[in-house]
Amino acid sequence: MTDASLFGDRLEAVFAVYGKLCVGIDPHPPLLDAWGLPDSAEGVREFGLRAVDAAAGRVGIVKPQVAFFERHGSAGYAALERVLAEARDGGLMVIADAKRGDIGTSVEAYGQAWLTPGSPLESDAMTLSAFQGLGSIAGVLEAAERVGKGVFVLAATSNPEAAAIQRAVLQQSSRAGDTVAQAITSGVIAWNQGRTDAASRPLGSVGVVLGATTDLRSSGIELDVDGPRPGLPVLAPGFGHQGAELGDLRAIYGSLAAGVIVSESRSILGAGPGALAEAITRRVDEVGVAGV
Catalytic residues: 99
Residues in the chain: 292
CB atoms < 10 A from the CB of 261, how many?
25
Counting Cβ atoms within 10 Å, is residue 64 exposed (0-12), middle (13-18) or buried (19+)? buried
DSSP type of residue 71: T
DSSP for 150-174 reads: EEEEEEE---GGGHHHHTPBPSSST
**Pairing relationship of beta strands 61-64 and 150-156 according to DSSP bridges:** unpaired
Contact 184, 155 (CB under 8 A): yes
Q: Are 271 and 278 in contact (CB under 8 A)?
A: yes
CB 115 within 8 A of CB 140: yes
Residue 38 vs residues 14, 46, 54, 86, 201: alpha-carbon distances, Å: 33, 10, 20, 21, 45
Question: How far, in Å, CA of 56 to CA of 74, rounded?
Answer: 26
CA dihedral 76, 262, 99, 184 (to 10 degrees): 170
Inter-residue contact 206 to 150 (CB < 8 Å):
yes
Q: By C-alpha distance, which of 47, 221, 60, 75 is closest to 125?
A: 60
